[in-house]
C-alpha cells in the first residue's frame, strides 16, 4: 500500500468521535503507511468526546513511536500510520470577553451606533439566545453556530493552528502530492451543522483566492463525512431551569432537513466526495449540555465514517453516486462493511494481539518483575530473546530499566484502549453489532478472561485444524522463542512486533 496523505478536520463532538475511530483504524493497519494530519474544531474545549479522542490519540502516538523506533518494520502495517495533531481550535480562541452571542457581535455597541442592526438582531435572536454563554458549544442551535462561524474570515486561517495546516497543504500540493482534506461532523447539532459548510468554503477560498492567479484547489481533493441523526436523548424536566438553552433531539430531523437543503442549493459543487451516513434507529444517550458530561460511547456509525475516510484516502473515485446498505435491519456484521475481508483480517489481528498481550504476556512480564528476571525466565524462556538480565552490565535492553518498564506500560495502555473501543462499538442498544464476541474481553474492571482466544471473532471461518494451531498459546509463545535474532528487534517493542506476527491470521 503506497504512502498517502490525508488531512482530517473533526467538527463538533460527533466529528471528534469519527476521528477516534480513525485513530484506532490507524493502529490496525487499515490506513496502511499513510500520513494523517488531524485538527479538532469545537467551542466546547472540554467536551468529553473531544477529550476521549485526544486521549486515544496520545496513547496511539506513544505506542506508534515506540514500535517504529527499531530496524524491523512490520510489513502488515500495524502501527504504520503516522499521525500529526494540529490541536483543538475554538472560534472563541481569540475572544477575551464573555463568550455570549451578544458580546461576540458587540451588541451593546450596535444598540448605540446601529439601532437598525440591533433591532434586526433582536428579531433573529431571543434575549435568552443573546445572553447564553457558549463555551459549552452552540446548544444544538445551528442558527447560533452559523452566526459565530460566519465571522471567521480568511485572516483567521493565518492564525495557528490553521496557518500550519494550510501551509502543509500548500507545500504538499506544490510538490505534486495531491493532498486530500476530509471534514467530519453531524448535520443535526450546532457545531457540525454550522461549522462544516463555513470551514469548507474558507479552505476552498484560501486555496483558490478570488482575484488571484494562485489555484492550489485544483490539486486538492476535498471531501466530507456528513452524519445524519443516529442518537437521541430525553430532556429531564428541570433542564430548562438548570441549564438555560440546550439541544433537543426533537429538532434533529428539522435541523438535518434544513442543512440538506442548504447543501443542495448553496454548496453542491463544494466537495469532490461526500459520505452521507445515518441509521434507521437512534441510540439513546445521556442528556448533556456539554463539557465532560458529553461523553457518548463509540457507535458503529463512526466506524462507518472511518471506513469512508479510508475509502477517500485510498481511492480517487469519480462515481456520481455509490450506495451502501446492510443485509438485515438492526444488525451489523462483517459482511455489511466495505472491503470486509481485509477489514475483518486487520481488525482481528489487532484484537488478537491486544487480547493475548493483556491476558498472557503482561501477566508474565509482571511476574518476571516481581520474582526476578533470571528466576522467572526459566518458566518463560522467550524472555531472554528480547531482554537482558540485570547481571549483564550496561544494556539498552535490560529488563528492569525504567525505559523497558515504561514501554510495557505503553503497549498495555494501547491494548486496553483499543479493546475498550471495540467493546463499546458492541454496546449499542438500538442495533446488534456482531463483529467480535466481546464477553471474552473481561468484566467492567478490565480483567481479561483467559483461554478465550479461539472465541473472539464472529464468523470465524478457519478450519478446525488451522484454528487449533493458530490459537494454541504454547505455539504462540514457542514462536516468540524460536525467532532468530536477526529477524527481530529486541526490547519491549521487539516483543510486541514479534507477538503481532505470531497472532497474525494472514488471510
Cell of 167: 501551509
Q: Which residues contact 73 (CB under 8 A, 6 or more apart)?
A: 80
296-328 residues labelled b (16+ CB within 10 A) or e (exposed): bbbbbbbbbbbbbbbbbbbeeeeeeeeeeebee
pTM: 0.88
User: What gap in Å lies between CA 272 and CA 204, rounded to an integer?
Assistant: 11
Q: Which of 124, 266, 260, 138 minimizes the C-alpha distance to 195?
A: 138
Nearest to 131 by CA among 98, 155, 109, 160: 98
Q: At 298, phi and psi to the nearest 5?
A: -55, 150
Q: How far apart are CA 284 and CA 230, in angstroms?
A: 9
Model pLDDT, residue 352: 96
**Per-residue pLDDT at 389:** 84
Which stretches in the chain have pLDDT values below 50?
1-2, 236, 239, 241-243, 246, 287, 289, 444, 507
- Provide the pLDDT for residue 241: 45
pLDDT the model gives residue 251: 64
Q: How many residues does the chain have?
A: 507
446: which 3 cell numbers? 478490565
What SS3 state is found at 304? Answer: helix
Instruction: Give the per-residue pLDDT at 52.
Output: 94
pLDDT digits (tens, 9 = 90+) for 64-111: 999 988 766 665 679 999 999 999 988 776 655 567 777 777 778 878
Give the count of alpha carbons within 13 A of 317, CB side only: 19
Query: CA Rg, the chain, in Å?
Result: 25
Tell me what pLDDT residue 135 has: 64
Closest CA to 244 of 324, 168, 138, 322: 138
Q: pLDDT tens digit string along 389-445?
A: 876 666 789 999 999 999 999 999 999 999 999 999 999 888 999 999 998 886 545
Q: What angle do CA 90, 96, 98 make, to 5 degrees?
A: 90
Helices (H) and strands (E) in the chain, counts: 20, 10
Residue matched to cell numbers 491476558: 359
Residue 236: strand, helix, or coil: coil
Q: Count CB neighbours of 126 within 10 A.
A: 11
pLDDT at 137: 59
Bridge-based pairing of strands 231-232 and 180-186 is unpaired
The reported pLDDT for the residue numbered 115 is 83
Least Cα distance to 16 among 53, 58, 46 occurs for 53
> Residues 361-365: contacts with CB within 8 Å, 24+ apart?
361/495, 361/499, 362/408, 362/412, 362/415, 365/408
Amino acid at each position: 500500500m503506497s504512502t498517502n496523505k490525508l488531512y482530517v478536520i473533526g467538527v463538533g463532538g460527533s466529528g471528534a468521535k469519527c476521528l477516534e475511530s480513525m485513530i484506532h483504524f490507524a493502529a490496525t493497519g487499515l490506513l496502511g503507511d499513510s500520513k494523517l494530519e488531524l485538527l479538532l474544531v469545537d467551542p466546547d474545549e472540554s467536551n468529553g468526546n473531544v477529550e476521549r479522542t485526544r486521549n486515544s490519540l496520545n496513547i496511539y502516538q506513544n505506542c506508534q513511536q515506540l514500535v517504529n523506533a527499531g530496524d524491523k518494520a512490520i510489513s502488515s502495517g500495524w502501527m504504520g500510520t503516522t499521525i500529526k495533531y494540529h490541536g483543538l481550535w475554538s472560534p472563541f480562541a481569540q475572544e477575551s470577553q464573555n463568550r455570549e452571542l451578544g458580546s461576540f457581535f458587540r451588541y451593546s455597541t450596535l444598540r448605540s451606533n446601529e439601532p437598525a442592526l440591533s433591532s434586526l438582531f433582536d428579531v433573529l435572536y431571543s434575549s435568552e439566545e443573546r445572553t447564553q454563554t457558549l463555551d459549552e458549544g452552540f446548544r444544538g442551535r445551528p442558527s447560533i453556530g452559523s452566526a459565530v462561524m460566519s465571522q471567521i474570515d480568511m485572516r483567521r486561517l493565518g492564525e495557528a493552528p490553521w496557518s500550519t495546516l494550510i501551509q502543509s497543504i500548500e507545500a504538499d500540493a506544490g510538490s505534486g502530492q495531491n493532498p486530500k482534506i476530509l471534514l467530519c461532523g453531524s448535520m443535526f447539532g450546532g457545531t457540525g451543522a454550522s461549522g462544516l459548510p463555513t470551514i469548507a468554503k474558507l479552505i476552498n477560498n484560501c486555496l483558490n483566492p478570488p482575484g488571484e492567479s494562485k489555484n492550489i484547489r485544483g490539486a486538492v481533493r476535498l471531501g466530507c463525512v456528513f452524519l445524519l441523526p443516529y442518537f437521541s436523548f430525553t430532556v429531564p424536566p428541570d433542564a430548562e431551569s438548570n441549564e438555560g438553552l440546550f439541544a433537543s433531539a426533537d429538532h434533529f430531523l428539522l435541523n438535518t432537513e434544513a442543512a440538506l437543503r442548504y447543501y443542495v442549493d448553496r454548496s453542491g459543487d463544494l466537495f469532490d466526495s461526500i459520505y452521507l451516513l445515518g441509521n434507521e434507529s437512534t441510540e439513546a444517550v445521556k442528556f448533556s449540555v456539554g463539557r465532560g458530561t458529553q461523553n457518548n460511547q463509540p457507535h458503529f456509525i463512526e466506524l462507518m465514517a472511518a471506513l469512508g475516510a479510508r475509502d477517500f484516502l485510498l481511492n480517487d473515485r469519480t462515481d456520481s453516486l455509490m450506495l451502501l446498505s446492510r443485509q438485515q435491519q438492526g444488525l451489523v456484521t462483517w459482511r455489511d462493511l466495505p472491503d470486509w475481508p481485509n477489514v475483518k483480517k486487520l481488525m482481528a489481528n489487532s484484537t488478537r494481539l491486544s487480547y493475548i498481550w493483556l491476558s498472557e504476556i503482561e501477566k508474565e512480564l509482571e511476574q518476571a518483575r516481581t520474582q526476578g528476571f533470571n528466576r522467572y525466565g526459566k518458566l518463560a524462556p522467550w524472555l531472554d530473546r528480547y531482554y537482558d538480565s540485570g547481571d549483564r552490565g550496561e544494556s539498552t535492553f535490560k529488563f528492569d530499566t525504567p525505559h523497558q518498564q515504561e514501554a510495557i506500560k505503553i503497549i498495555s495502555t494501547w491494548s486496553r484502549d483499543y479493546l475498550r473501543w471495540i467493546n463499546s462499538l458492541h454496546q449499542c442498544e438500538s442495533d446488534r453489532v456482531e463483529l467480535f464476541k466481546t464477553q471474552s474481553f473481561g468484566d467492567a474492571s478490565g480483567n481479561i478472561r483467559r483461554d478465550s482466544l479461539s472465541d473472539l471473532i464472529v464468523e470465524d471461518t478457519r478450519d478446525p485444524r488451522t484454528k487449533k494451531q493458530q490459537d494454541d498459546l504454547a505455539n504462540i509463545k514457542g514462536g516468540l522463542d524460536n525467532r532468530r535474532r536477526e529477524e527481530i528487534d529486541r526490547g519491549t517493542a521487539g516483543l510486541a512486533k514479534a507477538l503481532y506476527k505470531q497472532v497474525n491470521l494472514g488471510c
